[in-house]
Amino acid sequence: MGRNGLLALLVWEVIGRLGLIHGALPAPSAIAIKVWADRADYPPHVWATLQASGAGFAIGNLVAILAGMAFVLFPRLMQLARGVNIALFALPPLVVAPILSLVLEGMAPRITLAALGVYFVTMSATVAGLMHYDRRAADLVAAYGGGRLAVLRLVQLRGAVPAILSGFRVAAPNAVLGAILAEFGGGGRWGLGAYLLGSLGRADPARLWGIGLCATAIAGASYAVFALISARLLGSSRAISLNPTLPPVATQDPAWLRLTLGLGSALLPFALWWGVLAILAAPEMIAKTPLAVATYLTSPDTAPQAWARLSEALAETLPIAGLGLILGLGLAFALAVSGRLMPGFTRAFLPVALVTQTMPLVALTPLLVLMLGRGPALTLWVTISVTFFPAYVLMAQGLAQVPQGAMYVAHAYGARGWREMRLISIPASLPWAFAAARLTVPRALLGVMIAEWLATGQGLGALLNQSRGYLDFGMIWSIATLTVLLSVALYHAVLMVERRVLRRLGMAAAE
């Protein structure tokens, strides 16, 4: 631990000892004493969370990498699966966890939720890495008779390793969060989420901090491992030529094919939704089909009240989600750029950012309530926290992947510092920046809903919590459907901007 870390711990100790933050920030020594007193409780809970998050991490990432490779080889498949991909990422874990616990047994609900938490992140990073490859190396392989699979294996996949590892870095905390949310919302005896749930009513911030920091240590260790591997492999897999652009935009498909793919992309999530419920044989009262949700939202008996409640909740959630998304992306961009221009500042700030990212929100939010209250400031802080760090990882990876040859040319003409960043590095890393924006759209809604669910009592998250208490499963599934549709709409809005910008630069959007 460096001097900055020791100084931060010292300041934290003083603040905690003096009780300057309403008792919500106990001193590190008090947390350590409490963890030692509870040391017999931790091993079974930690082991349960490690099992679930580790299995979910492995399964989700394997599926994500294979899917990313298939999407790059078959772009129309990527267009067709776009709706399913976004729906899987945007589906609120708070809705899924209780239902999974009813229809699956043992560790399966936790593993499933952890796998869902990592799939979209790694898939997006894989697609971005595979599509941003050195065209000259690919031409060389093709000149020697290599086909598309040879180019994928020898050029694209090797060049995408750092991007995939960046996805792993973001996915590791997501896997831990998914497992803990399943433990927290789905019951069960063992796991850090179950331990946290049993500790919330005891008014013991030291124990809550101990549980949160334990989960943070698990996620942070995973992040550090993949960060180290990525740093070692970056230099051997980065393009060095002046032509690292994405493949040129494909010939425009016929109108009928575009319409078919668009309809298929929109309908496939609903077909999958219906099929999964049928396979699991979930109780009809709990697991609502698309038709049941549509009936709930259109029936004269339920629709007026349902739409009134949804409209009121949306008016609370959407403005904060939008503002948090903009501020989170802005902070990520500033941190990524400062990492190149002022590495010392980033090294000092990154440990704090990593703690806020990897500590599970269900553990952090109750503590933030004591510090910030239950107003918009809490919700905005949580939203920024869940959006900026994944965006920063991808943006920083994009800046690190800029070819050295391009920077040498800029340096030869006297462009250094911010000028080199503005003229070379930022334009070359735009595919990663847009991938970060698309990645964080659903996370912004998720962050707001978790804060509303646990703390503020307003918005979609609070409505979801109230509906669970009333066993109003029609409203629960309606909120999940609405959240997914909003995420899809925002995703497409970002994608439209991405296409226009990258086409002007001679690049192709990653869909």
- Give 110-122 pLDDT, tens digit per residue: 888 889 888 888 8
Is residue 270 in a domain?
Answer: yes
Cβ contacts of residue 485 below 8 Å, gap of 6+? Answer: none
What's the confidence (pLDDT) of residue 64?
A: 92
Q: Are 114 and 55 in contact (CB under 8 A)?
A: yes
pLDDT tens digits along 311-367 = 988 888 888 888 888 888 888 888 888 777 776 666 666 666 666 655 666 666 666
* 6 in a structural domain: no
Rounded percentage of the chain residues whose pLDDT exceeds 90: 3
Distance from first CA to last CA of the chain, Å, rounded?
A: 41
Is 4 within a domain? no
Alpha helical stretches, state H, 342-375 = 343-358, 361-372
**Residue 244 clears pLDDT 50, i.e. is over it:** no
Q: Is 100 helix (H, G, I), strand (E, B) or coil?
A: helix
Mean pLDDT (the chain) is 76
Number of domains making up the chain:
1
pLDDT at 90 over 90: no
Contact of 444 with 321, CB cutoff 8 Å: yes
DSSP category for residue 430: H
Residue range 4-48, pLDDT digits in tens: 567 767 777 777 777 666 566 777 888 888 888 888 888 888 888
469 lies in some domain: yes
CB 23 within 8 A of CB 29: no
- Quote the pTM value: 0.71
Task: Label residue 58 by pLDDT band (50, 70, 90).
Answer: very high
Structural domain contains residue 8: no
- Alpha-carbon span 331 to 311, nearest angstrom: 30
User: What is the domain range of residue 493?
Assistant: 23-244+256-504
pLDDT of residue 62: 93
Residue 490's pLDDT band, with cuts at 50, 70 and 90, is: confident
In DSSP notation, 219-276 reads HHHHHHHHHHHHHHHHHHHS--SS--PPPPPPPPPPHHHHHHHHHHHHHHHHHHHHHH
C-alpha span between 60 and 100 (Å, rounded):
17
Q: C-alpha angle with apex 66: 47 to 228, nearest 5 degrees?
A: 55
Closest CA to 213 of 27, 454, 57: 27
Does residue 326 lie within any of the structural domains? Answer: yes
Across 144-148, 243-247, 279-283, 354-358, least confident range: 243-247
393-402, 457-466, 480-489: segment of lowest average pLDDT: 393-402
Whether 11 maps to a domain, the answer reads no
CATH of the domain at 301: 1.10.3720.10
Residue 416 Cα distances to 112, 142, 145, 400, 410, angstroms: 47, 36, 41, 16, 7
**249 lies in some domain:** no
